[in-house]
Amino acid sequence: TQLLEQSPQFLSIQEGENLTVYCNSSSVFSSLQWYRQEPGEGPVLLVTVVTGGEVKKLKRLTFQFGDARKDSSLHITAAQPGDTGLYLCAGNTGNQFYFGTGTSLTVIP
């Protein structure tokens, strides 16, 4: 059973396009994180969101935590080939920590 479902699972877009990745759950999370993982490497943290409704921006990336703290989204503006990778949401509920199912993004030059 996957507590954090991501959509879409795969995404292939042209350089310069915008995209949004979703992370959904029926559970409430104390905080939620987004990671990016490149082939052959471990995930690297992009952002942590804590407050329901919170929006954080990191250059061309915009992260939002849902008001009820059950979902989150990642929006990338003007995607670049360097954005290619596996995007993972992750969160803790109670004492347990979960990663999402993952979204594999390919940006074609």
Partner 1 sequence: EAGVAQSPRYKIIEKRQSVAFWCNPISGHATLYWYQQILGQGPKLLIQFQNNGVVDDSQLPKDRFSAERLKGVDSTLKIQPAKLEDSAVYLCASSLAASGGVLGTQYFGPGTRLLVL
Smallest gap from residue 24 Cβ to partner 1 (A): 13
Evaluate whether 83 touches 105 at the Cβ level (below 8 Å): yes
* Interaction residues for partner 1, span 13-52 (CB under 8 A): 30-33, 40-45, 48, 50
Regarding 85 and contact with partner 1 (CB under 8 A), the answer is no
Among candidate residues 21, 27, 26, the one with its CA nearest the CA of residue 7: 21
Smallest gap from residue 17 Cβ to partner 1 (A): 22
Smallest gap from residue 35 Cβ to partner 1 (A): 8
CA 69-41-56 angle, to 5 degrees, is 30
Among candidate residues 74, 84, 66, 75, the one with its CA nearest the CA of residue 28: 66
Q: Which is nearer to partner 1, 22 or 99 (CB)?
A: 99
Map residue 82 onto helix, strand or coil: helix
Which residues of this protein are in contact with partner 1, per CB under 8 A? 2, 4, 6, 30-33, 40-45, 48, 50, 86, 88, 90-92, 95-102, 104
